Amino acid sequence: MKPTRVDRRAVLRGAGGIAIGLPWLEAMQAPRAHAQSAAPKRLLVFFHANGVSRPNWFPTGTETDWALPPNLQPLAPFKDQLVVFRGLPNRAGVTTLNAHPVGTSTLLVGRKCVSDGYPNSAAATGISVDQEIANRLPIRTRLPSLQAGVLVRSPFLDIPPTTEWISFGAANKPLPPENDPVALFDRALVNVTPGQPVDPALARRQLVRKSAVDFVLTDAAALRRRLGQRDRARLDQHLTALTELEKRLAGTIADGGSLGCLPPSRPSTPPILRRSDGTVDFLRQNNDNYPAYGAAQIDLLVQAFACDVTRVATLTWGGAGEFWTYRWVPGLSQYIGHHDLTTSGISTEPDLAKMKTWTMTQLAALAGKLAALPEGNGTMLDNTLILSVTEIDWIYGHAFADMPWLLLGGKNLGVRGGRFLDLKGTRSTNDLLVSILNAMGFPDTTFGDPALGTGGPIPGLVG
Amino acid sequence: MSRAIHEREVTRLTWVLLACVSCGGATSAGGAGGDGATAGNAAGANGGGGPGAAGGGGATLSRSCAAGPIGSTAMRRLTPEEYNNTLRDLLESPGLPWMELARGPEIWGFDTIAEAQVVPPRLVDEFEQAADRVATIATATANLPRLLKCDVAATGEDACARRFIADFGRRAFRRPLTTDETSRFTTFYGQQKATAGFGDAIYGVVLAFLQSPSFLYRPEFGEAAANGPAVPLSQHEVAARLSYFLTATMPDAALAADADAGRLTTDAVAAHAARLAGTEQGLATMARFHRRWLGVNALAASREDSVQYAMAQELDAVVREAALAPAGRLDTLLAADFTYANQTLAAFYRDLPALAGAGFQKVALPSDRRLGALGLGAFAATYTAVDQSNPVRRGRALRERLLCAELPAADPNVDAVVPMIRPNLTTRERFAAATAGQACDSCHLVLLNPPGYAFENFGPDGRWRFTDNGKPVDASGVLEITEDANGPFAGQADLMRRLAKSGQVHRCYARQFFRHAIGRDAIQEELPDLAVLGARLAAGDGSVRRLMSDVTRLASFRCNAADTGGAP
């Protein structure tokens, strides 16, 4: 928190946690985005799984005269803000490990990943570009970044879920996505109601929650002293995570909002479905509620941006190797898990194309919501750069030679849209990450492992 | 089965590809693997045994903590199942919502192994969120009196709170609070009451208990006066080990009362084990143990109306009758000639009689075709690929789960691909070709493929087949990887009859109980104990129920060696 700002918790304590009126709220707000000379710059990473079906994905034509392919039709309203890449390899991808966790562990990191000792898993070896940006943004928002997920679940139950993680604070420090819109709301948006006083009961409970964690941290010292070295190391892992949690709880009381901020309401996402023994019925719940959870997460992310809760976010659909059946998509010939479909060796291209078109419809919905909110002398989409990624290049290849990534929006960040860029393998995703850093205002020339890039941004993309 | 209908739980995704494995020098040892050390040393290991073996067991089972080296179990954390069961028992609220928690790795299929219980990044957050949900429900105005069990109007807020801290704390920590703990919790309550009021202060106390490491973990310090490299566990620590072993939850009232009163002798613990093994919670827990042992637990997370879910229930029913009933035995479990099916399963399998009526019914398996727990759909359908069977995965699973023989990690340099389906070749022919060659032969020719081929009559969906790709299935082979059950087999039933008589298989099964109950693998010096347990299990009067009690009599169960550092 910036030193010039009033410590809200101190205020709450001083005021007995009861009557917090508007003047206090105003004093404690983060510098208003619209009051600044420049509109905020935001980054949103949109992850979808399992690569694409090539014939349905890549446009035909030239850089500026090109036609939208079937999968990208939903983005037609934003074609002039869209950059479609072709011939863009992820050179950090390694082929000795399972392609899906390799993809997630490298795509925003730009460094080769390593085995973490488990089959079908891979460990990232550095910070991801979204976190690099979150760390360096000059304005401190309530949350440095936000990771949202739509039923992100590793296909493997017995190993670290590295297929779920695309965002890393450092090597081995993943920031897992939050799947539950209600929990995401509680973390990011609770009490963000501009012009309204903080709910005193909720604020009081919030303080008790933080105090309980404080207490547990103190109380654990007695247990810790009695433990041997091995058990103490395990407990310390736990207590370190608890310390991080304590910091987050301390910051959970909202700072208010900015110009486009509309008071968000707590999501009413579908209830958890259970089997008769009370355990969660993952498949039933997950398959059928996927679209509802997705819509809720999009709303929350748009609100989190609009209320300036954060300026960096990721939205992960399903997770790498996603296995949901997409049976809500009309016209599928059969219901097979998304990933199984890509490897089953039978003719499944039409079904895969329908699934991917559905996902791009969600991207279009997200862009549409941002475009509908005016900000500065444009819209929020103009101030938000969306990077759409997937962990492998195409469904049958499971490799990294031709990553079907997109840029969308970010006009005010200098991104020149309306283009189909066939780079023919001369540049890499490392260079694209540099371009994104440049767009966000950082004049870096490399990101990740410099040897995997060409020492600069993709020419002509930003500026 | 049409894949269109049955969504799969995903541990079976086809990108789990099995590589040629470089076994290097290990192959010359034949069935080299974890259990080799006990080969020469178990007198009763061949299965006969009888009273003699039981007598020998007496000596092993009464060993004191100091009599020989025992391994050290790291502090264990509640697994997601244990956490949820414990919350329901602690709050006495069977209807409490299930709290979803991050799952860490599993070892040998079990999440109860201390080494597997790392702290996944979001787990601590999830514990906090779950604690908030539970505490919010439990301290809601309508529920508070039931939580406090105290008349606040008559007794006073602070007196009720002190009583609550002592009683709830004793049950949450599975032992009485220390004086210091009582005083710290009471102070915390007072602070919260001063700023937030009585109700929120109780809410805070519940939050604190549910996030305390003494609740979430099971530290074991041993008897207060104990000394030496291995110390006897305290009464409360033994009670917790026992209840989490057999019922995956906190000690029930009877067990807790005996621990409080210091009455938990070795015999008393074994008696509680016998009692708990027969409770519904005990049966459900040990049925899940068997699912995990065979690595098929993921099926139980499938849709309730799916064949996969029915397969998990089928296995549970067979396990309950063949193994968990009072006279249940491992040889029965492995070579049972019956199963339990409902209409869905009977129609699916096609080799069972059509069933009338709802629910699961006991039916005979077709004669001399498939036998026992590994002859049910669950095993074959788990170790498979989407569109073809996978004999390598099945062979590997059988080695690891039944023989406790592990394989070296797959060679990362080998491009591991399940061979593509080709016209006119059976799965066996394709796998034989794909795993041929010097780099692969060392493992595949002997260790992996032959026991897997025994299951070739099971298609990828777990259903019996006579032909594969239009050609007759060849499920015969020669078993060469055991210490005492080698020889030719004609198919799955033949193989299971062989394995059901194997002392090695009985020892391995006892070892799986040991791993789950004690939270680690046996060290070399503990392997003879397992040989005794295996022999007692195979003996004419042996039973799985007796094995459970036997495990609790082991010094390794009653004691723990000091934590001298090293990896958890």
pLDDT score for B415: 57
Given a cut of 80, whether residue A358 has pLDDT beyond it is yes
Closest among B511, B147, B542, B192 to A204, alpha carbons compared: B192
The CA distance from B127 to the nearest CA of chain A, in Å, is 10
Task: Give the C-alpha distances (Å, rounded to integers) separating B291 from B103, B296, B298, B319, B522.
Answer: 17, 5, 9, 9, 21
Question: Which residue blocks in A372-442 are alpha helix, DSSP H?
Answer: 429-439
- B78 versus A39: which is more confidently predicted? B78
Instruction: Say if residues B254 and B214 touch (Cβ distance below 8 Å).
Output: no
- Which range, A439-443, B355-359, B547-551, has the best average confidence (pLDDT)? B547-551
B82-89: list long-range contacts, CB under 8 Å, 24+ apart.
B82/B112, B82/B244, B82/B248, B82/B249, B83/B130, B83/B216, B84/A278, B85/B247, B85/B248, B85/B249, B85/B250, B85/B281, B86/B249, B86/B250, B87/B130, B87/B134, B87/B210, B88/B249, B89/B249, B89/B250, B89/B252
- B161 versus A341: which is more confidently predicted? B161
Q: Do A343 and B4 touch (CB under 8 A)?
A: no
Q: State chain B's mean pLDDT as an integer.
A: 86
Tally C-beta pairs within 8 A across A and B.
221
Given a cut of 50, whether residue B39 has pLDDT beyond it is no
Q: Do B13 and A272 touch (CB under 8 A)?
A: no
Nearest to A245 among B124, B298, B302 (CB): B124
Residue B400 contacts A, CB cutoff 8 Å = no
pLDDT score for B228: 76
- Which range, A79-88, A279-288, B49-58, has the best average confidence (pLDDT)? A79-88
- φ/ψ of A137, rounded to 5, equals -60, 135
Given a cut of 90, whether residue B180 has pLDDT beyond it is yes
pLDDT score for A454: 93
- Which range, A20-34, A260-274, B457-471, has the best average confidence (pLDDT)? B457-471
R_g of chain B, CA atoms, integer Å: 26
Q: Do B3 and A159 touch (CB under 8 A)?
A: no
SS3 label, residue B362: strand
Given a cut of 70, whether residue A272 has pLDDT beyond it is no
State the average pLDDT over residues B246-253. 98
According to DSSP, the β-strands at B76-77 and A419-422 are unpaired
* Amino acid at site B342: N
- A447 versus B386: which is more confidently predicted? A447
Query: Distance between CA B93 and CA B440 in Å, rounded?
Result: 55
Q: Do B565 and A281 touch (CB under 8 A)?
A: no
Query: Distance between CA A186 and CA A180 in Å, rounded?
Result: 10
Q: What percent of chain A has pLDDT over 90?
A: 51
Given a cut of 50, whether residue A266 has pLDDT beyond it is yes
Min mean pLDDT across B15-19, B89-93, B197-201 is at: B15-19
pLDDT score for A140: 57
Question: Which residue blocks in B295-426 are alpha helix, DSSP H?
Answer: 307-319, 330-335, 343-349, 377-382, 391-403
- Best mutation target among B99, B101, B125 (most A Cβ atoms within 10 Å) is B125
* Residue carrying structure tokens 């919030």: A206
In sequence order, what are the residues at sequence separation of 6 or more whose Cβ sits closer than 8 angstroms to the Cβ of residue B235?
Answer: B258, B259, B260, B262, B263, B264
| Each residue's pLDDT tens digit, A295-337 | 999 999 998 998 888 899 999 999 999 888 898 998 887 777 8
Query: Distance between CA B49 and CA B542 in Å, rounded?
Result: 10
Q: Do A211 and B191 touch (CB under 8 A)?
A: yes
Instruction: Say if residues B384 and B393 touch (Cβ distance below 8 Å).
Output: yes
Q: Is A83 exposed, middle or buried (0-12, 13-18, 19+ CB in 10 A)?
A: buried
Nearest CA in chain A to B419: A345
Contacts of A168 in chain B (CB under 8 A): none
Q: What does chain B come to in residues?
A: 568
According to DSSP, the β-strands at A42-47 and A312-317 are parallel
Contacts of A281 in chain B (CB under 8 A): 301, 303-304
| Each residue's pLDDT tens digit, B20-37 | 433 433 333 333 333 333
Q: How confident is the model at residue B422 (pLDDT cuts 50, 70, 90)?
A: confident
pLDDT score for A286: 62
Q: Do B3 and A272 touch (CB under 8 A)?
A: no
* Reported pTM: 0.66
Q: What does chain A come to in residues?
A: 463
pLDDT score for A285: 57
Q: Do A272 and B97 touch (CB under 8 A)?
A: yes
pLDDT score for A6: 32
Residue B13 contacts A, CB cutoff 8 Å = yes
Instruction: State the DSSP code for A172.
Output: T
* Residue carrying structure tokens 């790795």: B105
State the average pLDDT over residues B61-74. 86
Query: Distance between CA A240 and CA B213 in Å, rounded?
Result: 13
| Each residue's pLDDT tens digit, B188-212 | 999 999 999 999 999 999 999 999 9
State the average pLDDT over residues A124-129. 94
- Which range, A267-271, A459-463, B434-438, has the best average confidence (pLDDT)? A459-463
Q: Do A219 and B565 touch (CB under 8 A)?
A: no
Closest among B132, B138, B139 to A206, alpha carbons compared: B132
Instruction: Say if residues A315 and A298 touch (Cβ distance below 8 Å).
Output: yes
Query: Distance between CA A183 and CA A201 in Å, rounded?
Result: 18
ipTM of the complex: 0.86
Q: Do A337 and B10 touch (CB under 8 A)?
A: yes
According to DSSP, the β-strands at B361-364 and B471-472 are unpaired
Q: Which B residues, 39 through 58, put their C-beta within 8 Å of a C-beta on chain A?
A: none
Given a cut of 90, whether residue A419 has pLDDT beyond it is yes
Closest among B283, B460, B291, B464 to B371, alpha carbons compared: B464
Instruction: State the DSSP code for B519.
Output: S
State the average pLDDT over residues B286-293. 98
Q: Do B303 and A283 touch (CB under 8 A)?
A: yes
Buried/exposed A282-309: b ≥16 CB within 10 Å, e otherwise: bbbbbbebbbbbbbbbbbbbbbbbbbbb
pLDDT score for A380: 92
The CA distance from A96 to the nearest CA of chain B, in Å, is 6
State the average pLDDT over residues A12-41. 36
- Best mutation target among A13, A175, A238 (most B Cβ atoms within 10 Å) is A238
Backbone region of residue B470 per phi and psi (left: phi > 0; alpha: psi in -120 to 50; beta: other values): left
* Residue carrying structure tokens 């991080």: A244
Instruction: State the DSSP code for B24.
Output: G
According to DSSP, the β-strands at A384-389 and A42-47 are parallel
Task: Give the C-alpha distances (Å, rounded to integers) separating B545 from B297, B522, B541.
Answer: 22, 21, 11
Closest among A11, A38, A35, A41 to A24, alpha carbons compared: A11
pLDDT score for A331: 86
pLDDT score for B133: 87
Closest among A3, A12, A4, A5 to A250, alpha carbons compared: A12
Closest among B406, B400, B417, B440 to B22, alpha carbons compared: B440
